[in-house]
Amino acid sequence: MRLTLEEGRKAVKLARKAIEEYLANRKIIKERLEGVFSQKRGVFTTLIKHGELRGCIGFPYPIKRLDEAIIESAISAAVDDPRFEPVRLREMNEIIVEITILTEPEKINAKPQDLPKFVEIGKHGLLVKKGLFSGLLLPQVAVEFGFDSEEFLSQTCMKAGLPPDCWLTGAEVYRFEGQIFKEVEPGGDVIEVDIKSCV
């Protein structure tokens, strides 16, 4: 079930509030919302500073209530992404908060060489698993970087710490869809992003 724009606004505002409260007071807010927010959903929080990624962490699977998952992923994106220094509170005036609500990943059951046919750029995100390794790329990543289906598969393998051709050599490949809401400017109005129109 897709979120309305109003629900998307609430999601993004909850993420920003969670981050700012944690950075200011080291407290995890306990806010609980009704409706779709009481359902278990996968979600990622992405932080963007001056057009560059500043943090991105989330839950691929629906293992928590959406409001809890938003709060936890938002704080983790700000302070636990190993690729970046922790965000400082004063930076939040320069950071755009983006929330991606995920459908549950479904395994693509196809011959390895046929996998690209089942990946639609602008619609699907990817999750690759092999042994102890796993990696995920959100749907908007393929659009932002101009990947075709094969390159998207290879990049997801590399995100997992695996060789780029692992999708041809036995890795499990899952696809999912994402609904994206983001701030127009830091702390500003929230819009729903249609990445298909960018393909």
DSSP annotation string for 95-159: EEEEEEEEPPPEE--S-GGGGGGG--TTTEEEEEEETTEEEEE-HHHHHHHT--HHHHHHHHHHH
* 64 and 138 inside one domain: no
Residue 192 lies in a domain: no
- Measured in degrees and rounded to the nearest 5, phi and psi for residue 95 equal -110, 130
At which residue do the structure tokens 């505002």 appear?
13
User: What number is the average pLDDT over the span 92-102?
Assistant: 98
Residue 199 predicted with pLDDT over 60: no
Instruction: Provide the b/e sequence for 78-95 (b: ≥16 CB within 10 Å).
Output: bbebeebeebeeebbeeb
Residue 15 lies in a domain: yes
pLDDT in the model for residue 147: 96
Q: Each residue of 105-129: pLDDT tens digit?
A: 999 999 999 999 999 999 999 999 9
Domains in the chain: how many in total?
2
State the chain's mean pLDDT as an integer: 96
* 33 and 82 inside one domain: yes
Residue 114 lies in a domain: yes
User: What number is the average pLDDT over the span 163-176?
Assistant: 96
* pLDDT band per the 50, 70, 90 thresholds, residue 196: confident
* 72 and 120 inside one domain: no
Domain limit, last residue, from 50, 81, 102: 102
User: Which tokens go with 142?
Assistant: 């393929």
User: What number is the average pLDDT over the span 35-49?
Assistant: 97
What is the pTM assigned to this prediction?
0.92
pLDDT in the model for residue 150: 97
Instruction: State which H helix or E strand residue 176 sits in.
Output: strand 172-183
Domain limit, last residue, from 52, 76, 102: 102
* pLDDT band per the 50, 70, 90 thresholds, residue 187: very high
Domain limit, last residue, from 44, 78, 102: 102
* 9 and 63 inside one domain: yes
* 128 and 152 inside one domain: yes
* 96 and 121 inside one domain: no
Torsion, Cα 117 98 145 123, to 10 degrees, reads 20
Q: Each residue of 138-150: pLDDT tens digit?
A: 999 999 999 999 9
CA–centroid distance for 127 within its chain: 11
CATH number, residue 16: 3.30.700.20
* 62 and 78 inside one domain: yes
CB atoms within 10 A of CB 147: 18
% residues pLDDT > 70 (the chain): 98
User: Which tokens go with 81?
Assistant: 């992404």
Residue 96 lies in a domain: yes
Nearest CA to 31 among 45, 55, 15, 7? 15
Residue 198 lies in a domain: no
* 67 and 123 inside one domain: no
% residues pLDDT > 90 (the chain): 96
User: Which tokens go with 14?
Assistant: 């909850």
CATH number, residue 158: 3.30.1490.150
Q: Each residue of 66-96: pLDDT tens digit?
A: 999 999 999 999 999 999 999 999 999 999 9
CA distances from 34 to 10, 38, 39, 66, 183 (A): 11, 6, 9, 10, 22
Q: Which domain holds residue 25?
A: 5-102
pLDDT in the model for residue 194: 86
Residue 36 lies in a domain: yes
* pLDDT band per the 50, 70, 90 thresholds, residue 156: very high
